[in-house]
DNA sequence: GTTGTGACTTTAA
DNA sequence: ATTAAAGCCACAA
């Protein structure tokens, strides 16, 4: 398994039950702030039951069209939804209430031994 | 090197 | 509230 996949798995495994993280947040914690899309690709290939890939959702609370089980698996964990009065496929996660507030120091390789962090560039923060 | 492919995100209509 | 367009990134051809 390549390092990128391993790093993404490490982050996703850290998402607690009943909480969710956007692809973008996972990318951020994985040390690749703009690699949300690439995170999606990893999830697409993920067959490891130990990785709670259903807890990774769109930034606006909507879910990937091609992952039908996701809604039910989240519901089973008590993840709150909004739009309970519209088509099932439209219902979105109440991100405001269950977004994972990650602890930075140790989780996901920050400050720990594992994570590869890239030096910040102008593109990462225009304020630089 | 280049090109194409997405379980993405943000912005502008 | 939708929808489209344009970025963005890792990966495999």
Nucleotide nearest to A37 (CA to C1'): B8
Residue A50 in this model has a pLDDT that exceeds 90: yes
What CA–CA distance (Å, rounded) separates A34 from A128? 17
Nucleotide nearest to A24 (CA to C1'): B8
pLDDT band at A89 (very low <50, low <70, confident <90, very high): confident
Residue A125 in this model has a pLDDT that exceeds 50: no
Tell me, what's the pLDDT at A103? 87
What does the pLDDT look like over A110-120, one tens digit per residue?
Answer: 544 444 455 55
Provide the whole-model pTM: 0.83
Using the structure, give the distance in angstroms from the CA atom of A34 to the C1' atom of C7, rounded to a whole number. Answer: 10
What does the pLDDT look like over A5-34, one tens digit per residue?
Answer: 999 999 999 999 999 999 999 999 999 999
Residues with CB under 7 A from strand C: A 2-5, 32, 34-38, 41, 90, 123
- Residue by residue, DSSP assigns A6-41 as HHHHHHHHTSPTT-BEEHHHHHHHTT-TT-HHHHHH
């Amino acid at each position: 398994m390549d390092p990128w996949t391993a790093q993404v798995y490490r982050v996703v495994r850290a998402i607690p039950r009943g909480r969710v993280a956007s692809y973008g947040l996972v990318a951020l914690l994985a040390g690749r702030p703009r690699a949300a899309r690439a995170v999606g690709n990893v999830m697409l290939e993920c067959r490891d039951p130990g990785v709670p890939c259903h807890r990774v959702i769109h930034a606006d609370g909507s879910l990937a069209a091609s992952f039908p089980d996701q809604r039910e698996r989240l519901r089973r964990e008590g993840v709150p939804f909004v739009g309970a009065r519209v088509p099932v496929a439209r219902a979105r996660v109440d991100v405001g209430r269950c977004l994972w507030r990650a602890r930075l120091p140790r989780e996901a390789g920050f400050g720990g031994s594992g994570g590869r962090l890239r030096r910040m560039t102008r593109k990462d923060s225009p304020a630089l």
